[in-house]
Amino acid sequence: MKRIFISAAILLFLSISCTKLDDEIFDNIPADKYPENDIQAKLMVVPTYGVLQYMLDDGNNNDGGCWWYAQEVTSDEMTAPTRKTDWDDGGKWRALHKHTWDKNTETINRMWALFYRGVVEANDVIEYLMPGAGNPDVAATIAQMKTMRAYYYYLLIDNYGDVPYVTSFANAPDMPVKETRLNIYNSLIEDMEENLPLIPTATSKTTVGKGMAFSLLAKLYLNAEVYSGTAQWAKAEAYCDSVINLGLYSLEADVLAPFITANENSPENIFTIPFDEDNFQHFNLHMRTLHYTSQLTFAMTLKPWNGFAIMEAHYYTYEDIDKRKAYFLVGQQYDINGVELHDDGAGGALLVFDPHIPALQMDASFTDVEVRMSGARIVKFEVKRGATIDLSNDYPIFRYADILLMKAEAMIRQGQNGDFYVNEIRSRAGVPDLSGVNLDMLLEERGREMFWEGHRRQDLIRFGEYNKAWWEKPATLPDRNIFPIPQWAIDANPNLGN
């Protein structure tokens, strides 16, 4: 297959390799004949979607896990406490928690490279398919790839602000300059809205359909004041309505249903990252939160790593009757047969999870019980019996419950009443309706409903709360609202430092 190769300088700038689909799939197809149909075109898009596989955890990919850590560990929802020598990792988790990251922080470096890998993959496919754009199926695939490119740029401007905006593959500049966040934002809106008519309505939840495109536009407009300086609440609400009016999505009756194993058919999930323990791996957040002995609770094939926990203050925002408290493990723990568990590493003490975490950095002065058992653990995504290091639960990037809460927020910010949409969420959770929901109440409800789904950092910034102090994190300056461009990228391309 005829390939287009990116320059060495661009490869260094992005710190990626443009690995494509296995060459043997295409090598025997003449370049001027490919793609001949929509199936062949859709095969080409696999690498662009495949970048999403590394959004949650490392796996064996050097770019992995970075997006989720940057959105959640830096927020007021959860924490990765240092448990004596466990979870120290050179202080990288504490840097995220305390907002003391710099241009050499691992997560920030990896996230930059991962997002641009997605951009490059999309640009490559778009350019290769353009000669066949007269075919409606190919044109639809191009529109989907432009939407995926917009998604990766949305992540870039959300996390880094001003970044290079490159939409060419063959003619990409060796040393691209930064474009303003405002200009990129406007370009994304224009490009997406221009391509909306070509996006198919009904697709799988793991590819771009109108539901995904409407959701992304709703997010862009919801955060417009952050990105552009001008609020666009009415447009955000309109695109939430576009999702709702498709009639394709609905709330599950059970708060846990969108997150079960094999959740690919959930009517609540709009756009998801597909995961499978055998074939599409790297979803192992359960390993990072569960206690070593929790292996016996779920008959897991290996011991978890005893790390992440929900912050105590956030845990107590849930009422006792809130069905969403099923997201968490608290109190005495049991094995798969209901027998009380003990922690041999804590002198055989009963394994009891306490929501209270005594310190972000627990050294030898803390008891083994405090070090090993503090913090409620998270099982929002089902850990099936016999779970391995990787889960088979798809991860929602866009979920219908989020759309309802976004619509409520947009309405409140326009001076309207959003109670109905908030109470749809609360009714499902088994808690009383609220009246006169204001922005503070809305942010709290978002925190309860969208916990662990990668939204909290963005929400806190939009609500003006990200720079405030919380547990083990001092008040910070607004410059912490974006991450710095990695130093290695600036060294490779000095234009990025300007």
Is 79 in a helix, a strand, or coil? strand
Confidence of residue 313 (pLDDT cuts 50, 70, 90): very high
Buried b (16+ CB within 10 A) or exposed e, 253-277: eebbbbbbbebeebebbbbbbbbeb
What percentage of residues in the chain have a pLDDT greater than 90?
A: 86
* Predicted local distance difference test score (pLDDT) of residue 43: 83
In CATH, the number for domain 9-199+484-497 is 1.25.40.390
* Predicted local distance difference test score (pLDDT) of residue 93: 96
Confidence of residue 111 (pLDDT cuts 50, 70, 90): very high
Q: d(Cα 255, Cα 37) in Å, to the nearest integer?
A: 41
* Predicted local distance difference test score (pLDDT) of residue 201: 95
Distances (CA, A) of 441 to 181, 412, 417, 448: 30, 11, 13, 11
Confidence of residue 40 (pLDDT cuts 50, 70, 90): confident
Written as six digits, the tokens of 78 are 């959860």
Confidence of residue 33 (pLDDT cuts 50, 70, 90): low
Q: Looking at the predicted structure, is the pLDDT value of residue 209 above 60? A: yes
Spatial CB neighbours of 9, under 8 Å, sequence gap ≥ 6: 174, 175, 492, 493
Contact 356, 373 (CB under 8 A): no
Q: d(Cα 54, Cα 390) in Å, to the nearest integer?
A: 12
Condensed to tens digits (0 to 9), the pLDDT of residues 216-255 reads 999 999 999 999 999 999 999 999 999 999 999 999 999 9
Contact 154, 216 (CB under 8 A): yes
Q: d(Cα 497, Cα 485) in Å, to the nearest integer?
A: 8
Is 42 in a helix, a strand, or coil? helix
Lowest average pLDDT, out of 20-24, 205-209, 359-363, goes to 20-24
* Predicted local distance difference test score (pLDDT) of residue 279: 82
* Predicted local distance difference test score (pLDDT) of residue 73: 98
Residue predicted with more confidence, 30 or 245 = 245
359-365: long-range contacts at Cβ-Cβ below 8 A with a sequence spacing of 24 or more? 359/81, 359/472, 360/79, 360/81, 360/82, 360/94, 360/97, 360/98, 360/471, 360/472, 361/81, 361/82, 361/94, 362/81, 362/82, 362/83, 362/84, 363/82, 363/84, 364/84
Q: d(Cα 389, Cα 28) in Å, to the nearest integer?
A: 38
Domain boundaries, the chain: 9-199+484-497, 285-378
Q: Looking at the predicted structure, is the pLDDT value of residue 91 above 90? A: yes
Partners of 343 in the beta sheet? 349
Condensed to tens digits (0 to 9), the pLDDT of residues 456-488 reads 999 999 999 999 999 999 999 999 999 999 999
Q: Mean pLDDT across the stretch 181-210?
A: 96
* Predicted local distance difference test score (pLDDT) of residue 160: 99
* Predicted local distance difference test score (pLDDT) of residue 3: 34
Confidence of residue 38 (pLDDT cuts 50, 70, 90): low
Condensed to tens digits (0 to 9), the pLDDT of residues 47-81 reads 999 999 999 976 544 545 689 999 999 999 999 99
Is 377 in a helix, a strand, or coil? strand
Q: d(Cα 400, Cα 384) in Å, to the nearest integer?
A: 24
Per the prediction, the chain carries an average pLDDT of: 92
Q: d(Cα 419, Cα 54) in Å, to the nearest integer?
A: 37
Q: Mean pLDDT across the stretch 436-449?
A: 99
Q: Looking at the predicted structure, is the pLDDT value of residue 176 above 80? A: yes
- Comparing CA positions, the residue from 396, 393, 397 lying closest to residue 276 is 393
Q: Are strands 78-79 and 309-310 parallel, antiparallel or unpaired?
A: antiparallel
